[in-house]
Amino acid sequence: MNNVLGFDEDELRRLAGSRSFERGLAYVSSVSAMEIGDWSITATADGTDAYEVELTEQADGLTGRCSCPYGQEGNFCKHCVAVALEVLRQAESVPRHRAAAASRGRQLTTWLESRSRDELLSLVKEHIADNRDLRHRLELRAATAGDDSGAVRERILGLLDTRPFARYGYVEYADAQAYGLQAAEAVLALRTLTETGRAKEAVEVARDAIEALTRTYGEIDDSDGVIGNVATELASVHLEACRTARPDPVGTADWLVDHLLDDLSDATDILLPEYADALGAAGLARAHERAAAALRDNPKGWAEKYLMEQLMRAEGSVDALIALHAADLAPSGATHLLIAQDLERASRPAEALEWAERGLREADPEHGPDSRLPDFVCERYTRAGRTADVVPIRRDVLLHHRSLAAYQGLRAAARAVGCWNETERTRALEVLRADARPRKSLGPTGSALVDALLDDGDHDAAWEAATSGYADGSQWLTLADLTRNDRPADALAVYLRLIGPLLTQTGDATYEHLTELLLSARACHRALGTEDAFTAYMTALRADQKRKRKLTTRLDQHGL
C-alpha cells in the first residue's frame, strides 16, 4: 500500500475489477475540482455527464460513490478509479492538503467560538433567511424544546412529506439525497423528545412517522439506501422510546403486529423480539396470539410465517420452530437449511447437519439444491476434517448450477485434497461446455465456460472457446482487455468488431463506450507499431461521423 494513502493500484483493481480499472485509466485526465479532506476526497469526473465522485478511507478500506448510473448501483466505477489514480499521482501532496483541511476546520471553530452571542445570532438569522430547509429544521428544534405536542408532530411529519421533492409523483434519484437529509432531521427531533423526558410523546409520533414513510417509500428512487437508513433510524428511535416510556404493552403489540403484517413494512426492518423488554409477558403473549391467528388465516403468507418465526426464536421454542418449517419444506432445500441453522444456534450441531444432509438428498433432482445448502454442509465437513467428502458435493453442484461460482467451488475443494488435476479440470470444463451453445454472432448471453477459463488464467483456451462461439460481446471485451499486451493483434480485431455496430448508433452512452473502445484500439496499434494505420482509421471515422458533434467533442477531449 502507499505509505501516505491506504490504497494502491492493486487495491483499486480489486475493488473495481480489471475491466473498470482499465477503463478508469482513460479517464484520469477528465478529473477536476478535486478536494482532499481528512478522510474523504471529492472530485468531478467528466463522462457522459459531469459525475460527482466521493472516495472515503475507512478502517475496513477504501469506498467510493459516484453519481453515474453504474456507481449508483453501488459499484466502484471507472470514475472512482480515475479519481483514485489522480490522488495516487499526487500522493506526495496529500499530507499537505489534509493538513490544510484540518487547519481550515480549526480556524472556523476558533472564529465561531470568538463571536459574541449577538454576532452568532445575527449569523444564524442571516442564513435561515436565505435557506428555507435550515429554517424549518431550526424551527423543529425550537418546537421540540417547547411544550406544543401538536406542533412537534406536524413539523416532524412535514419533514417526511415527499411532495416538495416529487416530480410527477415520484422522488427521483437526484432529489433523494436532499429529501434524505430533511427526513433525518425528523429522527433527530424524535430522539430529542425521548432524551428530554417526552418519550411517551415520541412513541406516538414515531409510529405516525414510520407509517408516513412506509406509505411513500415505494415512490422514492433510493438507489443509495439513504432513505432506507432513515427508515431504520425511525424504527430505532421508536424502540428507544418504547423502552423508556413503557407504553401499554397490548396496544404496542397490536401496533407492531399490524405494522409487520403490512405489505409496506420492509423499509423499517423492525424485529418484534427486540421489543421484548418493553412488551413484557402480556405484550409478547398478545403478539403470539395475533401472529398465530394470522397464520391460521393465511398459512402460506410469508409475513405471517416470518412473524411467527421471530416470536418462536424469542421464546426459545426451537422444536416448535422446526415443526413450523417442516410443515412446508421447499423443494430447493432452503427450508431444510433454515432448520439446520436454527438447530446450530441452539447448540445442536449433529441434528443440524442431519437436516442439511437430508436437504441435499430431498432437493429437486432436476434443479438441484439451493446453493447455500451445499455451502453449509461443505463447511461443516471441512471443520470435521472430512475434506474428501466435499468434492462429490461440489461436483453435484456444478452439474445442477453450471456457473463460474460452482466451478470455483469444485476447484477449491479438489485442490484441498490434491485431486485438482487435468482430468478433474477437463471433466468440469466439459460440464460447462455442454451447457453452452456456440453462437455465430456477439449475442447477449455469454457462457460460464469462458468465465471459468478466464478465471483459471487460461487465456489461450478462452480465446479458443470464444472463437468457437461460446462468448458474448462483454466476454470478448474482457478477454481483449486482459490479453491486450500479449495479443495486441487479436485484441485489436475484437475492438474493431465491437466498434462497428456503434457507428450506426447515437446517444451519450454510445459515444462514451465508443471512445473507450477507440482508446483501447489505439493502445493495440501502439503495441504493434502501426500508429499510422490508426491515424488513417481515425481520419476516415471522423469524416464519416462528422455530423455527430457530441462524439467529435468527446474524441477531441481524449486526443483521438
As a three-state string, the secondary structure of 514-525 is HHHHHHHHHHHH
Average pLDDT over residues 86-93: 88
**Grid coordinates belonging to 229:** 437508513
Question: Which comes out higher in pLDDT, residue 290 or 131?
Answer: 290
Higher pLDDT, residue 367 or 212: 212
Q: Which residue has the cell 449577538?
A: 118
What is the mean pLDDT of the segment spanning 139-143? 67
Q: What is the pLDDT of residue 442?
A: 42
Has residue 2 got a pLDDT over 60?
Answer: no
Round to whole Å and give the CA distance between 490 and 487. Answer: 5
Cell of 414: 479438489
Share of the chain above pLDDT 90, in %: 47
Looking at residue 168, what is its pLDDT?
80
Q: pLDDT of 475-522, one tens digit each?
A: 999 999 999 999 999 999 999 999 999 998 888 888 888 999 999 999
CB 290 within 8 A of CB 282: no
Identify the CA nearest to 186 among candidates 210, 217, 150: 210
Nearest to 62 by CA among 99, 15, 13, 4: 15
Place of cell 420452530: 321
Contacts for 253-260 with beta carbons within 8 Å, 24 or more apart?
Answer: 253/279, 253/283, 253/284, 253/286, 253/287, 253/290, 254/286, 254/290, 255/207, 256/287, 257/287, 257/290, 257/291, 257/294, 257/307, 259/210, 259/211, 259/214, 260/303, 260/307
Judge whether residue 255 has pLDDT over 70: yes
Chain segment 96-117, per-residue pLDDT in tens: 888 888 888 889 889 989 989 9
Mean pLDDT for all residues in the chain? 88
Provide the CB-side half-sphere exposure for 132 (13 A, CA): 3
Highest mean pLDDT among 148-152, 252-256, 547-551: 252-256
Per-residue pLDDT tens digits for 362-418: 998 888 888 899 999 999 999 999 999 999 999 999 998 888 999 999 999 999 999
Cell numbers 437529509: residue: 181
**Residue 393: its pLDDT value, please?**
95
CA 404 to chain centre: 21
Give residue for cell 449433529: 350
Domain definitions of the chain by residue range: 9-112, 484-560
Residue 3 pLDDT greater than 80, yes or no: no
Does residue 444 surpass a pLDDT of 50?
A: no
Please say whether the dihedral angle defined by the alpha carbons of residues 494, 499, 501 and 507, taken in this order, is positive or negative.
positive
- pLDDT-wise least confident of 114-118, 173-177, 201-205: 173-177
What distance in Å separates the CA atoms of residue 279 and residue 259, rounded to the nearest whole number? 15
User: At residue 443, does pLDDT exceed 60?
Assistant: no
Least confident of 88-97, 147-156, 471-480: 147-156
Quote the cell numbers at residue 486: 500479449
CA atoms within 13 A on the CB side of 85: 26
* Cβ pair 35, 54 in contact under 8 A: no
Inter-residue contact 203 to 247 (CB < 8 Å):
yes
140 pLDDT more than 70? no
Please tell me the predicted confidence (pLDDT) of residue 415: 95
pLDDT at 391: 95
Task: Quote the cell numbers at residue 179.
Answer: 429529501
CA distance 499 to 319: 62
User: In this structure, are residues 450 and 466 in contact, taking their beta carbons and an 8 Å threshold?
Assistant: yes
